[in-house]
């Protein structure tokens, strides 16, 4: 059995065909999935998915790429994180990829939002889902400054260097690989993936985006985390069952879920 540690089932591409998407999970032996919150207006939807389905879990948080959106307060995050199916805070982090011609200083709102998520996670004793793009040095610095090693979590859709992975693991974070690792162009990431021990690894789809080979370009869905798992097992030269068992155990451990 595989587990999709990061998907967006509330996005219209997936929610409008939810029965089929859930059936495909069962067919591909994907036992659980984590539905990840990206903003406050859609959060009730994400929460409801987890409430309605025993094998779905949810997060609460506001994505760093969402600009014209209500800011989450510390109190809001802590309150929502009390829900038994809200197992993690995020996705949060930094994303300087779309900074364009704006200055570093003008992105302070993103760093402030990130700090609020970390503080709420520490107060809630729940882990964090970290999104980082073109910003790994700042991401690691802020995690350190805020004491995120007390709670850990996951570096999701990991595309950074082996060095960044090692530093994050030292701080108690798991490293989660998406369909990107299956792409022919992802040679460096595949090398990093070989270096990340099975004990610290998660797998995800980030669906509806980033469909793995052989589905690249199509609308991704949680069932296809099985393709990510198969690819990594092959890359590491280990049996698929071993990869599936470790990454599933890691999921329950990372998100403190009693089976």
C-beta of 36 vs 232, nearer to Zn ion: 36
Stretches 34-42, 165-173, 226-234, 240-248: which one binds Zn ion (CB under 5 A)? 34-42
Taking the C-alpha atoms of residue 164 and residue 185, their distance in angstroms, rounded to an integer, is 20
C-beta of 15 vs 240, nearer to Zn ion: 15
Nearest-approach distance from CB 230 to Zn ion, in angstroms: 22
Alpha helices (H) along the chain:
12-15, 18-27, 43-52, 74-80, 108-124, 136-145, 162-170, 187-195, 225-236, 240-254
Nearest-approach distance from CB 239 to Zn ion, in angstroms: 29
C-beta of 131 vs 246, nearer to Zn ion: 131
C-beta of 159 vs 192, nearer to Zn ion: 159
Nearest-approach distance from CB 76 to Zn ion, in angstroms: 20
Taking the C-alpha atoms of residue 206 and residue 5, their distance in angstroms, rounded to an integer, is 8
From residue 114, alpha-carbon distances to 15, 77, 136 in Å are 28, 12, 13
Nearest-approach distance from CB 186 to Zn ion, in angstroms: 17
The answer to the question of residue 246 lying near Zn ion (CB under 5 A) is no
Residue 184 per-residue DSSP state: T
Residues 135-194 that bind Zn ion (CB under 5 A): none
Nearest-approach distance from CB 157 to Zn ion, in angstroms: 5
Taking the C-alpha atoms of residue 168 and residue 162, their distance in angstroms, rounded to an integer, is 10
* Binding string, residues 85-124; x marks residues near Zn ion by CB under 5 A: ------x---------------------------------
Taking the C-alpha atoms of residue 228 and residue 220, their distance in angstroms, rounded to an integer, is 12
Nearest-approach distance from CB 44 to Zn ion, in angstroms: 18
The answer to the question of residue 131 lying near Zn ion (CB under 5 A) is yes
From residue 29, alpha-carbon distances to 1, 2, 25, 195 in Å are 5, 6, 6, 26
Stretches 22-30, 45-53, 199-207, 235-243: which one binds Zn ion (CB under 5 A)? 199-207
Nearest-approach distance from CB 171 to Zn ion, in angstroms: 19
The answer to the question of residue 227 lying near Zn ion (CB under 5 A) is no
C-beta of 36 vs 88, nearer to Zn ion: 36
Q: Which residue is nearest to Zn ion (CB)?
A: 131
From residue 215, alpha-carbon distances to 59, 182, 191, 225, 236 in Å are 27, 10, 22, 11, 22
Size of the site for Zn ion (CB under 5 A): 4
C-beta of 81 vs 233, nearer to Zn ion: 81
Specify whether the CB–CB gap between 3 and 30 falls below 8 A: yes
Specify whether the CB–CB gap between 254 and 127 falls below 8 A: yes
Q: Is the peptide bond before 209 cis (omega within 30 degrees of 0)?
A: no
Taking the C-alpha atoms of residue 226 and residue 230, their distance in angstroms, rounded to an integer, is 6
Residues within the interface to Zn ion (CB under 5 A): 36, 91, 131, 206
């Amino acid at each position: 059995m595989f587990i999709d540690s990061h998907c967006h089932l509330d996005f219209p591409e997936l929610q409008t065909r939810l029965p089929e998407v859930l059936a495909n999970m069962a067919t591909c032996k994907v036992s659980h999935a984590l539905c990840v919150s990206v903003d406050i207006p859609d959060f009730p939807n994400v929460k409801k998915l987890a409430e309605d389905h025993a094998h779905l879990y949810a997060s609460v948080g506001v994505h760093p790429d969402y600009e014209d959106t209500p800011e989450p307060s510390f109190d809001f995050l802590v309150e929502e994180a009390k829900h038994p199916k809200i197992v993690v805070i995020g996705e949060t982090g930094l994303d300087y990829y779309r900074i364009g011609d704006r200055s570093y200083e003008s992105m302070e709102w993103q760093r402030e939002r990130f700090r609020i998520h970390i503080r709420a996670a520490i107060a809630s004793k729940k882990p964090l889902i970290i999104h980082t793009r073109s910003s790994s040095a700042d991401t690691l610095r802020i995690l350190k400054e805020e004491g995120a090693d007390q709670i850990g979590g996951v570096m999701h859709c990991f595309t950074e260097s082996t060095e960044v992975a090692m530093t994050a693991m030292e701080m108690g974070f798991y490293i989660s690989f998406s369909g990107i690792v299956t792409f022919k162009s992802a040679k460096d990431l595949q090398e990093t993936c070989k270096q990340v021990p099975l004990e610290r690894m998660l797998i995800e789809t980030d669906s509806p985006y980033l469909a793995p080979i052989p589905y690249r370009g199509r609308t991704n869905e949680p069932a296809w985390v099985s393709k990510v798992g198969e690819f990594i097992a092959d890359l590491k030269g280990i049996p698929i069952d071993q990869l599936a068992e470790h990454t599933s155990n890691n999921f329950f451990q990372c998100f403190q879920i009693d089976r």
